[in-house]
């Protein structure tokens, strides 16, 4: 997959793209990331101007962004504008975005980009959360890493991504490693029992309990099997594993 980022701060990405999964995925040829600076498509490096109608804050001009997009776009590109006015990103949305071969991400700054860019290209408008950032650069990294994790070969163990929180609409169960006793806190005995069926049931119950307590909005009737419903009744009745 190729990612093209449209940003006036290309240096912002150098360090994050040089570590962890994103570095490995680039070295393996799983992803390619390029950054295009809209300033390169101006004569005076000016990419913003005052709002028509008045108001505080500058707006990114349409011409440099349109030229930057046209410079990198391909026939079947997925064009994304990161904006708090967009559809909120979740794991199901990430799965859909991971099907694209070429993605362009527009990183707005200041008050955002001139609305005519949206009128010309009809990009997907995506929000990474209900909060405000100074620009789209951090959101672009969130988007690229969340997609990259789902691409074949990006992770050392593909099953690791399958068990992550939100991947299957549930929060992940508690996880532990050595030592099995730390500051008098013990790893649950069931995880050291060697009984894979009991471990799987314990983890499912913990996931359901955590999700019910912290993110009940994730739970939908369609996702439950009969066993899940039995486990949920245990949770609601306060029965321990």
Res 18 pLDDT > 70 = yes
> Is the model's pLDDT at 62 over the cut of 90?
yes
pLDDT of residue 154: 94
The reply to whether 124 and 193 lie within a common domain is no
In a domain, 189, yes or no: yes
**105 in the same domain as 30:** yes
Residue 176 lies in a domain: no
CB–CB of 11/111 below 8 Å?
Answer: no
Write down the pLDDT at residue 221.
77
CA nearest neighbour of 241 among 208, 215, 205, 210:
205
Question: In this predicted structure, what is the pLDDT of residue 241?
Answer: 57
Q: Answer yes or no: is pLDDT of 163 > 90.
A: no
Q: Which of 101, 125, 148 is the endpoint of a domain?
A: 148
d(CA 82, CA 93): 14
CA distance 202 to 158: 22
pLDDT higher at 229 or 122: 122
- Residue-level pLDDT at 240: 64
For residues 101 and 217, membership in a common domain is answered with: no
- Same domain flag for 128 and 217: no
- Distance, in Å, from the CA atom of 115 to the CA atom of 51, rounded to the nearest integer, reads 11
Residues 50, 100 within the same domain? yes
- When comparing pLDDT for 165 and 186, which is higher? 186
pTM for this model (two decimals): 0.87
**pLDDT tens-digit readout, 24-58:** 999 999 999 999 999 999 999 999 999 999 999 99
Q: Which of 72-81, 111-120, 166-175 has the lowest mean pLDDT?
A: 166-175
SS3 227: helix
CATH of the domain at 108: 3.40.1280.10
Residue 237: predicted pLDDT: 84
207 domain residue, yes or no: yes
- Are 37 and 105 part of one and the same domain? yes
CATH number at residue 228: 1.10.1270.20
Whether residue 169 is contained in a domain is answered as: no
pLDDT in tens, 32-41: 999 999 999 9
What is the tally of structural domains in the chain? 2
**What pLDDT shows up at residue 225?**
82
Other beta carbons less than 10 A from residue 174's beta carbon: 13
Q: 52: Cβ–Cβ under 8 A, 6 or more apart, which residues?
A: none
Residue 23 lies in a domain: yes
Q: Which of these three, 101, 124, 148, is where a domain ends?
A: 148
**So what's the pLDDT on residue 220?**
83
Q: Identify the domain boundary among 148, 163, 196.
A: 148
Range of the domain at 194: 181-236
Q: Are residues 124 and 200 in the same domain?
A: no
Position 169 confidence tier, pLDDT thresholds 50, 70, 90: confident
The reply to whether 135 and 187 lie within a common domain is no
Based on the domain organization, do 75 and 189 belong to the same domain?
no
Average pLDDT value over all residues in the chain: 92
pLDDT of residue 224: 78
pLDDT in tens, 89-109: 999 999 999 999 999 999 999
Predicted confidence (pLDDT) at residue 165 exceeds the cutoff of 70 = no
Query: CA of 238: how far to CAs of 171, 186, 202, 228, 234, in Å?
Result: 19, 21, 14, 15, 6
Shared domain check, 123 and 225: no
- Looking at the structure, tell me whether residues 144 and 197 fall in a common domain: no
């Amino acid at each position: 997959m190729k990612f093209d980022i449209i940003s006036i701060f290309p240096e912002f990405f150098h360090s994050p793209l040089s570590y962890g999964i994103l570095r490995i995925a680039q070295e393996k040829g799983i992803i390619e990331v390029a950054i295009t600076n809209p300033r390169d498509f101006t004569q005076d490096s000016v990419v913003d101007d005052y709002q028509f109608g008045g108001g505080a804050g500058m707006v990114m001009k349409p011409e440099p962004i349109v030229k930057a997009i046209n410079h990198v776009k391909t026939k079947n590109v997925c064009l994304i504008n990161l904006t708090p006015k967009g559809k909120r990103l979740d794991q199901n949305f990430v799965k859909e975005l991971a099907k694209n071969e070429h993605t362009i991400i527009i990183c707005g700054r200041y008050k955002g980009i001139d609305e005519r860019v949206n009128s010309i290209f009809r990009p997907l408008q995506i929000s990474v959360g209900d909060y405000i950032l100074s620009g789209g650069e951090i959101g672009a990294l969130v988007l690229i890493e969340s997609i990259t994790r789902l691409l074949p070969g990006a992770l050392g163990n593909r099953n690791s991504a399958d068990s992550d929180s939100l991947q299957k609409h549930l929060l992940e169960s508690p996880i532990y490693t050595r030592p099995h006793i730390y500051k008098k806190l013990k790893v649950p005995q069931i995880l050291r029992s060697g009984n894979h069926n009991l471990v799987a049931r314990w983890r499912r119950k913990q996931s359901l309990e955590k999700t019910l307590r912290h993110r009940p909005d994730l739970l939908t009737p369609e996702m439950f099997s009969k066993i899940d419903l039995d486990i949920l009744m245990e949770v609601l009745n306060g029965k321990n594993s």
